[in-house]
Structure 1
Amino acid sequence: MFVALLLLLALSNAVSIDAEVGRCGSNPILDPRPHSVSILEFGAVGDGKTLNTLAFQNAIFYLKSFADKGGAQLYVPPGNWLTDSFNLTSHLTLFLEKGAAIIGSQDPSHWNVVEPLPSYGRGLEVPGGRYQSLINGYMLNDVVITGNNGTIDGTGSIWWELFGSHSLNYSRPHLVEIVASEFVVVSNLTFLNAPAYSIHPVYCSHVHIHNVSISAPPESPYTVGIVPDSSDSICIEDCVVTMGYDAIALKSGWDEYGIAYDRPTENVHIRNVHLEAFSGSTLAFGSDMSGGISNVLVEHAHLFNSNSGVEFRTIKGRGGYMKDIVMSDIQIENVHTAIAATGHCGSHPDDKFDPNALPLLDHITLKDISGTNITIAGSFVGIEESPFTNICLSNITLSTNSVSAITWKCSNVSGFSDSVSPKPCPDLENPSNYSSSCFSYLMSITERNTAVL
C-alpha cells in the first residue's frame, strides 16, 4: 500500500518544465517522475527534535543517480522534519505532503558558511562569507519544490535576535536559494519565518513561483519574501506574502560588484498577488540594482498594510538602471506612501565603489491604480546628476487621509500624468509629447512581455 501511494504521488505531482515557464499563464507541464522515495527510507524521524540533515543529504545523493532516467521525487510525509542546510540536484521534485514541515535548526554552529555572491562581493550584513540557506541548489536544471501545502519553516527568531544585537558572525541565511539554475518551479507550499529572504533565485532563468504563502512577523528585521536577483524569465503569480520588510524585491547586484558581474533582472511577470510589508515596501525595486532591472510587468495586485506600496530605490554609486516597467490594475490600502522613487537609499559594500556611477530610472508606467487610507500619494526624489525620467501615471485615484498636508513630493523627476487624483506635482504634468511616449511604450512592453516571457 505504501509503495503504491508513493507511485501515485510520483505520477501526479512530478513536473517536467517546458520552455515557457517564465510566462505567467503558461503553467509547467505535469509529467510523471518515474522514481520516488520517502525520506523515511533514509532514517528520518519527524518528531521535531531529531536532526535529519544526513537523511536529506543521503536521499538526494541517491536520487541523483536517476537524473538521466527521467528524474526522481523525494516525498516528505506529515511530520516535523528538523534539519540543517541541504542541497538539491537536477531533475528532482521535493514534495511536502500536507502536515509536513521542514524546519531549520536554530543552532547557527550547525550551518555551513559559503562564499559571498560575486555580484555582491561580501555578505549583505557582515563582511565576508554568509550562512548557507536551508534549501539550496547550484547549477541545476529542472528542479521543483512543491507539495500539498506543506511548510518550510526557518524558525528565524534566533537569527533576528543575532541581527538586532549585532552579534552575527556571518550574514543571515535564506530559506530557499537557487543559484545559476534554469527551469525552476516553487509552488503549493507555505514558507514561514525566514531568517532573511524566503525565496531567492539568483543568476537563474525560467523560474515559476505560484500558489505559495509566505510570512514572517512584523517585527522580524529586514525579512523579505521573494527576491528575483540577476535572473530572467520569472513568473510570480497567485501568491500571498506578508513580511517584516519587503514582500517582493527585485535586485541585481551591489555597486562595483554588480556592475562587473553585469547580469540584469529582466523579463519578469508578476500577477494576482496579495502583498503586505510592515516596515518596507510591498513591491520594491533595488536598492541593489547595479546589474539593471528591466522589462517588468506587474498586474492585478493588492498591496496593503505597509509603509510603502511600490518603491524604486537607488543611490549614487550604484550604476545600473531600472527601466521599461509597467504596473496596472493595482489596489492599495492602508499604506503610508503609495508610490515612491528615491535616489538616496542604500549603503555601499566598501570604499571601492565609483561615486560617479549614476543609476538610470526611466520609462516607468503606472496605470489603473486605486487606493484608500493613503498618507502620501507619491514621492519622487531623483538624483540631481541623473534625474528620473519618463514617469507615466494614468487613471490613478488615491484617497488620502488627513495625517499629512502634503500629498506629493517631487524633485529631479519628469513625466506625464492623466486622470490622477490627488493632482500630482507639476514635474509630472509635462506636455503631450510625454503622453505619446508613455502610451506607445506601454503597448510595446505589453507585447514584448507576451512574446518574451
Structure 2
Amino acid sequence: MKRSVALLEVLLLLTFISKASWAVGGSSPCKLISPLEVRPHSVSITEFGAVGDGATLNTKAFQNAIFYLQSFADKGGAQLFVPAGRWLTGSFELISHLTLLLDKKAVILGSENSSHWPVDDPLPSYGRGRELPGGRHRSLIHGHNLTDVIITGDNGTIDGQGSVWWNWFRNQSLNYTRPHLVEMRNSTGVVISNLTFLNSPFWTIHPVYCSRVLVQNVTILAPLDSPNTDGIDPDSSDDVCIEDCYISTGDDIIAIKSGWDEYGISYARPSSNITIRRVAGVAGLGAGLAIGSEMSGGVSIVHAEDLQFFNSSNGIRIKTAPGRGGYIRNVYISNVTMTDVKIAIRITGQYGEHPDEFYDPNALPIVDMITIKDVVGTNIGRAGLLEGIEGDNFLNICLSNITLTVTKKSPWNCSFIQGYSSLVSPRTCELLSESIYPRHSSDCYLLSSHLQSPGRNISACVPG
C-alpha cells in the first residue's frame, strides 16, 4: 500500500511539473539541444535473435544489432527499437547517429553476473576507480567518442538490478568500482529522455567529458538506503541541461563533478554552463543538488531553478577539501522548496577521501560567488552548516529571500566564509549578516539592486 501511495505521489508531481509554465534564461544550453531526431533506418532487437523473457541473455543481440546499424551512420543515422518485453543483457556500446528507442512496456534488465559488465581503465581525471584502486566496471549502456546519440522511449524502463552490487559493496567483496547504469564519455549531442531508470549499481546517468547534453523527462528510482546511487552526475562536461525530472535515490539527486585531486587538476576539464530546472525528488543520504566533492577541474556557471526536495539529508550542498584544488564559482540557485530536510544549505570544506597519497594538501579549492535565493523550507532540522577552510575562506556566499521553519535551537553554524544576506529567516550567522543591498549586490552572482523581491511561482508544483 505504501508503495502505491508513493508511486501516486510521483505521478501527481510529474503531472504538476509538466503543466507548469517557466521562464528560460537566454544563455541556457536547453535551447541549444534538440530532443528529437528522425532516423531514416530502423530495426527491432528481435530481428537479431533477442528474446524478451527476462531470462535469456541478449548481450550479443544488442551488440550485433548496433554493429549492423553502424553502416547507416553516414546515411542519416539509425534507430534500434526495443519492443515490449523484459530484455536481459550485459553491457553494450552505442554508436554515433543512433536512437535507442524503448516501447512503453519494454524493460532492459542489467545482468546480475558481474562478468557481463567488462572492466575498463580508470578515467584519467580520477586516476583510479572511484571506490577501489584500478579499473571500473563498464556501464550497462555505454558510449565513447560519439556524436548525436539519443536514448529515449515512451516511458520504457532501464533496470540495473543493482541490489546484488550493493550487497557486494557492503560486504567489501568487489574487485573493481561498481558500474553506472548509463555513461557517455567524450561525446557531443547526447539526449536522454522519457524513460524510467531503476536500481543502478552505482551512479545512474554519468555524462563525462561531454558537450551538449540534455536529460529531460526522466524518472530515476532506487531505495533510499542504496549506496551511492546518485541520479545524474555531469562530470567535466559543458552545455548540460537537466529538466523536468523526478529522482529518488540513496544519495545525491544531482551531483556536478570534474575530477579528483591531482588527476582532476592535471586533466583540467571543468564542468561549465550547467542548467537545471524543474527537478524534484528525495535524496536518501545525499543532497538534492550537490557540487563535488570531486571538483578539481573546476565548476562554474551553474544555474538551477524550480527545485523541490523532500525527506532528504541535505537540500543544497557544496563539497570540497584541501587537496582538491580547482574552483566552484558563479553558481545561482533559485526557487527552491524543501520539506522534511535535515540541513537545508550545507557547504563542507573538509569532505575527505583522496585517491592516493600523492595528492597535494596545499592545493586549496576556490569557492566564490555562490548565490542562493527564493527558498522556502518546512520542517527543516538546521538552516545552514557553512564551513570553509581555515586560511582559504569561501567568498561571496549570498543568501536572499529565504524562509525556513527550523527545529534546531541554533539554526546556522558558519566558519571560514564571507558573504552577505537579505531577507533570511531565521536570521543568518554573523559572518553573512551584512546586507546584500544596496552596497554588495555586485559581489553576488547574478544579483542586482532591482532583484530584491522577485516573484515566486513554485506552489503549483507542490503536491497537496
Q: Same fold (TM over 0.5)?
A: yes
- Pick from 155, 165, 177 the counterpart of residue 159 of structure 1: 165
Deviation of 1:304 after TM superposition, in Å, equals 1.3
Task: Work out whether residues 332 and 446 of structure 2, in 8 Å CA contact, stay in contact via their aligned partners in 1.
Answer: no
Deviations 1:386-433 (A, max 9, x none): 1111001110000112xx221000000111000000000010013667
RMSD: 1.7
Task: Work out whether residues 39 and 55 of structure 1, in 8 Å CA contact, stay in contact via their aligned partners in 2.
Answer: yes
Task: Work out whether residues 212 and 240 of structure 2, in 8 Å CA contact, stay in contact via their aligned partners in 1.
Answer: yes
Are 1:343 and 2:349 counterparts? yes
- Pick from 112, 126, 129 the counterpart of residue 123 of structure 1: 129
Are 1:357 and 2:357 counterparts? no
Are 1:248 and 2:263 counterparts? no
- Pick from 83, 91, 101 the counterpart of residue 89 of structure 2: 83
Task: Supply the distance in 2 between the matched residues of 1:369 and 1:25 (Cα, whole angstroms).
Answer: 26
Task: Supply the distance in 2 between the matched residues of 1:386 and 1:287 (Cα, whole angstroms).
Answer: 17
Task: Supply the distance in 2 between the matched residues of 1:26 and 1:400 (Cα, whole angstroms).
Answer: 40
Letter in 2 for 1:290: S
The alignment's TM-score, normalised by the length of structure 1, stands at 0.91
Consecutive unaligned residues of structure 1, counting only runs of 5 or more, are: 1-19, 447-453
How do 1:303-342 residues align onto structure 2 when only pairs under 5 Å count?
A: 303-342=309-348
- Pick from 267, 285, 306 the counterpart of residue 261 of structure 1: 267
Deviation of 1:207 after TM superposition, in Å, equals 0.1
Report the counterpart of residue 180 of structure 1 in structure 2: 186
Letter in 2 for 1:244: G
Task: Work out whether residues 330 and 445 of structure 2, in 8 Å CA contact, stay in contact via their aligned partners in 1.
Answer: no
Task: Supply the distance in 2 between the matched residues of 1:133 and 1:443 (Cα, whole angstroms).
Answer: 44
Report the counterpart of residue 207 of structure 1 in structure 2: 213
Task: Work out whether residues 21 and 27 of structure 1, in 8 Å CA contact, stay in contact via their aligned partners in 2.
Answer: no
Letter in 2 for 1:201: P
- Pick from 421, 425, 442 the counterpart of residue 437 of structure 1: 442
Report the counterpart of residue 222 of structure 2 in structure 1: 216
SS in 2 for 1:36: strand
Deviations 1:188-208 (A, max 9, x none): 000000000110000000000
Deviation of 1:136 after TM superposition, in Å, equals 0.2
CA spacing shift, 1:391–1:434, aligned 2, 3 Å: farther
- Pick from 426, 433, 440 the counterpart of residue 430 of structure 2: 426
Are 1:409 and 2:413 counterparts? yes
Task: Supply the distance in 2 between the matched residues of 1:434 and 1:411 (Cα, whole angstroms).
Answer: 23
Report the counterpart of residue 106 of structure 1 in structure 2: 112
Deviations 1:161-180 (A, max 9, x none): 01001111100000000000
- Pick from 393, 399, 402 the counterpart of residue 393 of structure 1: 399
Letter in 2 for 1:417: S
- Pick from 221, 232, 239 the counterpart of residue 238 of structure 2: 232
SS in 1 for 2:253: strand
Deviation of 1:30 after TM superposition, in Å, equals 3.1
Task: Supply the distance in 1 between the matched residues of 2:410 and 2:266 (Cα, whole angstroms).
Answer: 40
SS in 2 for 1:50: strand
CA spacing shift, 1:383–1:21, aligned 2, 3 Å: closer
Letter in 2 for 1:414: Q
Consecutive unaligned residues of structure 2, counting only runs of 5 or more, are: 1-25, 452-464
Report the counterpart of residue 299 of structure 2 in structure 1: 293
Task: Work out whether residues 160 and 198 of structure 2, in 8 Å CA contact, stay in contact via their aligned partners in 1.
Answer: yes
Deviations 1:103-157 (A, max 9, x none): 0000112221100000000001110001111000000000000001000000000
CA spacing shift, 1:333–1:255, aligned 2, 3 Å: same
Task: Supply the distance in 2 between the matched residues of 1:217 and 1:341 (Cα, whole angstroms).
Answer: 25
SS in 1 for 2:47: helix
Deviations 1:356-377 (A, max 9, x none): 0000110000111100000100
- Pick from 187, 190, 195 the counterpart of residue 189 of structure 1: 195
Deviation above 4 Å: which 4+ runs of structure 1?
Answer: 431-434
SS in 1 for 2:189: strand
- Pick from 137, 143, 150 the counterpart of residue 144 of structure 1: 150
Task: Supply the distance in 2 between the matched residues of 1:439 and 1:383 (Cα, whole angstroms).
Answer: 20
Deviation of 1:219 after TM superposition, in Å, equals 1.4
CA spacing shift, 1:80–1:378, aligned 2, 3 Å: same
Report the counterpart of residue 270 of structure 1 in structure 2: 276
Letter in 1 for 2:425: S
Task: Supply the distance in 2 between the matched residues of 1:27 and 1:258 (Cα, whole angstroms).
Answer: 27
Letter in 1 for 2:318: F
CA spacing shift, 1:390–1:125, aligned 2, 3 Å: same
CA spacing shift, 1:39–1:376, aligned 2, 3 Å: same
Deviations 1:337-363 (A, max 9, x none): 000101011300000000100001100
CA spacing shift, 1:50–1:32, aligned 2, 3 Å: same
Q: Across the two proteins, how many residue pairs are aligned to each other? A: 424
Task: Work out whether residues 422 and 435 of structure 2, in 8 Å CA contact, stay in contact via their aligned partners in 1.
Answer: no
Task: Supply the distance in 2 between the matched residues of 1:83 and 1:179 (Cα, whole angstroms).
Answer: 21
How do 1:41-80 residues align onto structure 2 when only pairs under 5 Å count?
A: 41-80=47-86
Report the counterpart of residue 15 of structure 1 in structure 2: none
SS in 2 for 1:350: coil
* Identical aligned residues as a percent: 58
Letter in 2 for 1:437: S
